[in-house]
Amino acid sequence: MREESGLSSAGDVSLDQAGGVWLSVVVPTPAHSGVPALLSYRHSQTLSPGQLVRVPLGRREVLGLVWEQLDVPPPDLDPTQARDVACVLDALSPLNVSWRRLVAFAARYYQRSLGEVALSALPAALRDLDATQLQRRLKRKAPAANEDAATAAPHPSPEQAEALATLQATALPVLLFGSTGSGKTEVYLRAAETLLRADDNAQVLVLVPEINLTPQLQARLTERLAPWLGPAGLACLHSGMTPPQRLAAWLAAHSGRSRVVLGTRLAIFASLPRLRLIVVDEEHDPSYKSQEGARYSARDLAVYRARLETERLQADGVAEVCRVVLGSATPSLESWHAAEQGRYQRLAMPSRIGGGDLPALRLVDMNLQAKGTVLSPQLMGAIEARVARGEQSLVLLNRRGYAPVLSCDACDWKSQCPNCSAYRVFHKIDRTLRCHHCGHTDRVPRACPDCGNLDIAPVGRGTEQLEEQLAGLLADVRRPDGTAVKVARMDADSTRAKGALEAQLAALHSGEVDVLVGTQMVAKGHDFRRITLVASVNADAALFASDYRAPERLFALLMQASGRAGRDSARAAHSEMWVQTWHPQHPLFTALRAHDYPGFAAAELAEREAAGMPPFGAQALVRADARTQAAAQAFLNTAAHWASELPEAQGVMLYPAVPTPIARVANVERAQLLVECESRQTLQRLLAAWQPLLLQARGAPEAKGLIRFAVDVDPLSI
């Protein structure tokens, strides 16, 4: 097997005078700590790269990962200072070469330390186990399979059959472009099943954007695969699991016992020694981009990982590949562009299973409504008709709470958060003012805190208020059985309690709820058969947002949401997507009306190309947090000035530092600096050369008060 540079082969033992070998070990060091991620340790015997060990670090003993065996003792290390590996977790096979290459790439590309990325990719519980405890865990036995209980797969539609055949025939990453309800999930299932039956060791990784979406897919995978793979054949990995659960799932995947791993973005780092297929469902979803630590994109890493796995298979002399499928009804413009260029293989599945049409678009021109109209009479009429027919409606508003601001008419008081440059949101349900950025919460004051005026009023509208308004407007409407209408709300507030989300989904499925008000969390993935109307009541903000990705996200959200309607073909005929807008002529709505994602994408890509925006150029953001806005910006500008003098800065555009859209959060001032370049490679070279200067700039006198900084490569919002 070919290893990276300098990895010596197992037989090639290098002894120092005391006997034993020298190993370079990855230890957990944060990106900016100054401690290198690779430290040298002595051990009595040869260890393979990827072997997990426990090593002393300072006064502690930590989990480490053998990176390579050194041919000669480290030259700069005083032998009397040398430390020994404390113990070897030899019950675990070493992490394989493609896994190691994946974490090395992620660390390099996203500008973090190898130690941070490699060790945080391992389950936390592994850090605390000694070799004996580990041995005990690995002994647990897996329950047996029961082949007879297997549910038969439906016969593939012609589009599905074609997609599957092309998938088998191509070695390129595949972009499965299929409408909601076109049977994409069925394609993933079949591709997985075919592979797992053909190769007794093969493993499959399925990524979904949100934890909420795992139970549904888990049920489908279990129903189809568990009967012949056994219940242990399927493992889940996401942040909602307890540390022991995560460890168990991780071990099952690492040992090869689990053949399918279903997880959220963090599962991209699962150890899967026989990985042959990666599925990224809803690949356009922003949740695939991590917003803390190493700000990696699990979707992008999935494509990279498939290539690494294929190289590993080839190096092992296996004539197989690892495939990657990115699925979406509204692909990211990055993936769409890659398919246009022929770097990805595009597979289109335009038809819905059962032939149901996508809902028709109804635009309400708000310019023609009476002043102050929140819900137009046309929309209310359409909702009332649904209630009367026993059908459901979904009303989307992307703002939770009752009102975003509380304001005094007499003076200028507003419900400003004392810690942030943002207003606190009025939550009527528990009569609180809550900051959605820092969490600061107070009781709603009886009177204006500044002038004592009793008339403090909510400004603007959130989901709580919309729910209240809809209930009022529909009070006299009856369901087919003569009972009163039921309006409910689903957002991050209503689903916070454990089990609340499940209960609310169940109420919706049972038909108990007629009208559901919700944030975008309800628009994703869930399969609601009785919904025949979806309405978006404040989409306009995204049309003119400063964030150039806002239209892409709005289009995806509206397509996704309209995909919720009419999943049941008997009701599809009169399914509708309603949008209230002040700009009904906007081209985005023209494309939406025709369900024309390719048209929308072509127009957006042309604009991006003209502006040199991704995917036509590469970007990185450096974010800085400081006690003062001046310090945050000075740090960034100083670092940028130093960067501009590097030879690697040729062709790279460094913009001046600016405050972030919400400049102060929890009394910390935030600024950011955009770096842009036509070429991803050139940008990467600059970032690598810049890293030590950024660390150095922390000490610049003008940066006094700096708290932290972070580099965000390929940022999703700027």
Among 181-189, 263-271, 535-543, 571-579, the segment contacting ligand ADP (CB under 6 A): 181-189
From residue 332 to residue 371, what is the string marking binding to ligand ADP with x (rule CB under 6 A)?
A: ---------------------x------------------
Is 160 a binding residue for ligand ADP by CB under 6 A? The answer is: yes
What H or E segment, with its residue span, contains residue 560?
Answer: helix 550-564
For the chain, the C-alpha Rg in angstroms (whole number) is 28
In this structure, the strands spanning 706-713 and 658-665 are unpaired
622 binds, among ligand ADP, Zn ion, none (CB under 5 to 8 A by kind): none
Which of 185, 575 has the CB closer to ligand ADP? Answer: 185
Is 687 within 8 Å of 711 (Cβ atoms)? Answer: yes
Residue 615: asked if its preceding bond is cis (omega within 30°), the reply is: yes
Is 716 within 8 Å of 289 (Cβ atoms)? Answer: yes
Tell the residue number behind the tokens 């500044």, with chain if given: 450
| Least distance (Å) between residue 181 CB and ligand ADP | 5
Is 180 a binding residue for ligand ADP by CB under 6 A? The answer is: yes
| Least distance (Å) between residue 445 CB and Zn ion | 10
Tell me the number of residues near ligand ADP by CB under 6 A: 14
Distance, CA of 504 to CA of 487 (rounded, Å): 12
Is 157 a binding residue for ligand ADP by CB under 6 A? The answer is: yes
Is 338 a binding residue for Zn ion by CB under 5 A? The answer is: no
Is 564 a binding residue for ligand ADP by CB under 6 A? The answer is: no
Is 673 within 8 Å of 655 (Cβ atoms)? Answer: yes
Which of 173, 183 has the CB closer to ligand ADP? Answer: 183
Q: Which runs of consecutive H residues, i.e. helices, occur in 432-532?
A: 463-473, 500-509
Is 662 a binding residue for Zn ion by CB under 5 A? The answer is: no
178 binds, among ligand ADP, Zn ion, none (CB under 5 to 8 A by kind): ligand ADP
Residues 6+ apart with CB under 8 A from 532: 359, 386, 391, 392, 393, 565, 566, 571, 572, 574, 575, 576
From residue 607 to residue 646, what is the string marking binding to Zn ion with x (rule CB under 5 A)?
A: ----------------------------------------
Is 417 a binding residue for Zn ion by CB under 5 A? The answer is: yes
Residues paired with residue 31 on neighbouring β-strands, in sequence order: none
CA atoms within 13 A on the CB side of 50: 23
Distance, CA of 355 to CA of 352 (rounded, Å): 5
Q: How many CB atoms lie within 10 A of CB 597?
A: 21
Tell the residue number behind the tokens 């399925």, with chain if given: 206
Residues 6+ apart with CB under 8 A from 292: none
Judged by CB under 5 A, the chain residues 443 through 472 that form the site for Zn ion are 448, 450-451, 453
Is 55 within 8 Å of 64 (Cβ atoms)? Answer: yes
Among 177-185, 251-259, 408-416, 641-649, the segment contacting ligand ADP (CB under 6 A): 177-185
Burial label for 466, CB within 10 Å (0-12, 13-18, 19+), is buried
Relative orientation angle of helices 629-644 and 680-697, to the nearest 10 degrees: 120
| The binder of Zn ion chosen from 274, 428, 440, 680 (CB under 5 A) | 440
Is 183 a binding residue for ligand ADP by CB under 6 A? The answer is: yes
Burial label for 84, CB within 10 Å (0-12, 13-18, 19+), is middle
440 binds, among Zn ion, ligand ADP, none (CB under 5 to 8 A by kind): Zn ion
438 binds, among Zn ion, ligand ADP, none (CB under 5 to 8 A by kind): Zn ion
| The binder of ligand ADP chosen from 98, 182, 218, 415 (CB under 6 A) | 182
218 binds, among Zn ion, ligand ADP, none (CB under 5 to 8 A by kind): none
Question: Which positions lie near Zn ion, rule CB under 5 A?
Answer: 408, 410-411, 413, 417, 419-420, 435, 437-438, 440, 448, 450-451, 453
Question: Which positions lie near ligand ADP, rule CB under 6 A?
Answer: 154-157, 160, 178, 180-186, 353
